[in-house]
Chains A and B, each alone.
Chain A
Amino acid sequence: KQEVTQIPAALSVPEGENLVLNCSFTDSAIYNLQWFRQDPGKGLTSLLLIQSSQREQTSGRLNASLDKSSGRSTLYIAASQPGDSATYLCAVKGSGGSNYKLTFGKGTLLTMNP
């Protein structure tokens, strides 16, 4: 059974800092990994999708890397801003019989300090 872990569970940083969120998964047989953002009481906004054959994806200030063999991904946020405060969720899509669903971690709650 695939398990996804996100560390840290919560992070508080001053504005302007670069930061790294971590995600690990137990079964390396995945099709892709997706990072989402969730604001309080809201749905999920897709940030980046990395295919299993890719090493990284970039979108603006966000860069996500994937090391499939070791079961790890990182989300790098450059020059953090107040609007970055949210919960960041990592999810993997498994291969084989579970290639239709995403398995999520519990998320990292990011709080920006002015």
Chain B
Amino acid sequence: DTGVSQNPRHKITKRGQNVTFRCDPISEHNRLYWYRQTLGQGPEFLTYFQNEAQLEKSRLLSDRFSAERPKGSFSTLEIQRTEQGDSAMYLCASNVGTLNTEAFFGQGTRLTVV
């Protein structure tokens, strides 16, 4: 499978615990994005990387959230001290870093905080 891969697909955690998600983009894509989607809403932008550099972070990304993309390959999104409001689908997307290219999304990680 050469698409965007996300792991795990589902995560249930207790409030206050830390969680980490992984995204493997399409191999030749230098741009990688994280979005969050809550029930009944469209995805909302969180952050993006061009190669290993994190170039933009949304105000939605509180201090409890951190994302990395070491060596410009896979990316991780960590949430510390999870809250019930963090329950959502976390989507990763990638594309080639020109303005007009198509974005490809992974299957997402569904986070439930109990």
Q: Do A and B bind each other?
A: yes
Binding site for B on A (CB under 8 A): 4, 31-32, 34, 36, 41-46, 49, 51, 89, 91, 93, 99-107
Closest to A93 in B: B99
Residues in B neighbouring A101, C-beta threshold 8 A: 33, 45, 48, 56
Residues in B neighbouring A104, C-beta threshold 8 A: 42-44
Q: Are A34 and B103 in contact (CB under 8 A)?
A: yes
Which B residues, 85 to 114, have Cβ-Cβ distances below 8 Å to chain A? 91, 93, 99-100, 102-108, 110
Residues in B neighbouring A4, C-beta threshold 8 A: 42
Cα distance A106–B38 when bound, in Å?
A: 10
Residues in A neighbouring B69, C-beta threshold 8 A: none
Which B residues, 61 to 91, have Cβ-Cβ distances below 8 Å to chain A? 91
B4, B45, B55, B106: the one contacting A102 at CB < 8 Å is B45
Q: Are A46 and B103 in contact (CB under 8 A)?
A: yes
Q: Which 6 A-B pairs have the closest CB atoms?
A: A104-B42, A44-B105, A43-B107, A101-B45, A43-B108, A49-B102
B42, B55, B102, B105: the one contacting A43 at CB < 8 Å is B105
Closest to B49 in A: A100
